[in-house]
Amino acid sequence: MEEREVTLAEVLEARERRAARQSELLDEYHTPLVSFSMNIAGPIKNNALIRRGFRLGESRLRGQLARVGAQCVRAERVDLPSGCEGLYVVDIDAATLKTLTEEIEDYGDIGRLFDMDVLSPDGVKLERALPRRCLICGGEAKACASRRIHTVAELQAKTNEILQSALDVYDAETVGNLACRALLYEVCVTPKPGLVDRDNNGSHADMDIYTFLRSASALEPYFTECARTGRRTAGLAPRETFKTLRLAGKMAEGVMLSATGGVNTHKGAIFSMGLVCGAAGRLDRDVWKSPERVLSEAAEMVKGLSEREFSALTPGNAVTHGQKLYLRHGVTGIRGEAEAGFPAVLRYGLPVLDNGLAMGKSPDEAGAAALLSMLARTVDTNMLARNGGDIPEGVTAELSATLDANPYPDTETLRKLDAEFIRRNLSPGGSADLLSLCWMLRFLREES
């Protein structure tokens, strides 16, 4: 919907239409009703920013209702040039409902932009306990409006400032939360061959599931900061965002090691998940629904990275496992995967995860299948590093045969693979990081 100015007639028509629908819902349900609209000064009542603010208000209303165990038995929304509007029939007494909505309106600057009227079953509008405050001076809003103390231009500028600030914080915190959740989902998928899960520690003597829980929770602020950095640098070239993220990543690695007592649980995820969080921050929330778009933005951020970091390598200056593997096999690892837009995730992991869950598979079943589908078709540098730099003999063929027999292996098959990987000291940690990205992209899509 394009942004445009609306006339007074359109505003009045919307108001009459809303009142008529309120009466119909009250007659049908005989239950309290919330009528939610945005308090927007001036002739522009709707645009992308206002729409996002409305959705944040809806989210807070759902949270308040969930907090007291109330059910929304009917919800209706309209999205018109005259503004976003929502009507919600709620099975709770009107006085309690009014208290809940007042708390939303009074929480933070953006709450002043939420207009949540509560109507009792007989159609009476409940009044606020305290008057609304002015956006600009903090005085009583009605007094400022009646005396026209602030110009429309001032109110519009303040409204945009409040919306942008609150939504940037909301989006960044959402991304950080989802990234942490994705790491937790990855470690909890059970069984996973050679990896830490709820059954065992896989091929690792120095870590268990609790090590991963400490690490993932410690990294949530880092992922939030990555999204915040992406939003702050969205007007710059993608590579500039990545440059800013690199120092944050080094700090995050120290946080991880402090949380785990020196154990490397998520070094790969600090790079790959941090990159995706930065990409999400650079993009509007509506774009999160496209995994392809998110990953292509991440790819642009690291374009040319492998060339810059590997071109001057020699056996004498190769220090890290990744550098040594590049010289030995020409494998660019997670850097190359990121530069290409994470094709293993888009082509194999995410489709298998999505299809499995759509078929009714559990997160364990769908997640393990997604992991194996990527491991069977890509080179996992963690596997190489733990195998002395050589490609593990027969692993790819065995996995391919397993998946050909059943794309979603049963628990018994997975546990046999797990035992074999543990016996051979194999751990597909790189593929585990990609599985985290699969979960992350699903979560982002659900939040868009």
Long-range contacts of 374-377 (CB under 8 A, 24+ apart): 374/344, 374/345, 374/348, 374/349, 374/431, 374/434, 374/435, 375/399, 375/428, 375/431, 376/400, 376/403, 377/344, 377/347, 377/348
DSSP secondary structure letter of residue 346: I
* Residue from 367, 396, 391, 368 nearest 381 by CA: 391
CA–CA–CA angle 195, 201, 202 (5° rounding): 40
Q: Where are the beta strands (DSSP E) in 285-420?
A: none
Cα(149)–Cα(143) distance, integer angstroms: 9
pLDDT of residue 327: 74
pLDDT of residue 322: 73
Residues paired with 448 in a beta bridge: none
pLDDT of residue 389: 61
Pick the CATH number of 8-130 from 3.40.50.720, 3.10.129.10, 1.10.357.10, 3.30.70.260: 3.30.70.260
Q: Within 10 Å of residue 312's Cβ, how many Cβ atoms?
A: 8
Q: In what order do the strands lie in the sheet with 72-80?
A: 72-80, 83-90, 33-38, 114-119
167 φ, ψ to 5°?
Answer: -75, -35
Burial of 4 (0-12, 13-18, 19+ CB in 10 A): exposed
- Mark 355-385 as b/e (b = at least 16 C-beta within 10 Å): ebbeeebeebbbbbbbbbbbbbbbbbbbbbb
How many Cα atoms are found within 13 Å in the side-chain-facing hemisphere of 69?
A: 0
pLDDT of residue 330: 77
Beta carbons of 389 and 328 less than 8 angstroms apart: yes
Beta carbons of 50 and 84 less than 8 angstroms apart: yes
pLDDT of residue 388: 66
Cα(356)–Cα(247) distance, integer angstroms: 38
Please report, as a single letter, which amino acid is at residue 34: V
pLDDT of residue 314: 80
Domain boundaries, the chain: 8-130, 170-447
CA–CA–CA angle 247, 253, 256 (5° rounding): 145
pTM for this entry: 0.91
pLDDT of residue 329: 67
pLDDT of residue 277: 98
Q: Within 10 Å of residue 200's Cβ, how many Cβ atoms?
A: 18
pLDDT of residue 165: 96
The alpha carbon dihedral of 332, 334, 339, 341 has a sign of positive
Per-block mean pLDDT, blocks of 10 residues, the chain (448 long): 88 96 97 97 94 96 97 96 97 97 96 97 94 90 89 94 96 98 98 97 96 98 98 97 97 98 97 98 96 98 90 75 72 90 98 98 98 93 74 82 96 96 94 98 95
pLDDT of residue 392: 75
CA distances from 226 to 175, 216, 274, 319 (A): 9, 15, 6, 27
Give the largest CA-CA distance in the chain.
Answer: 83
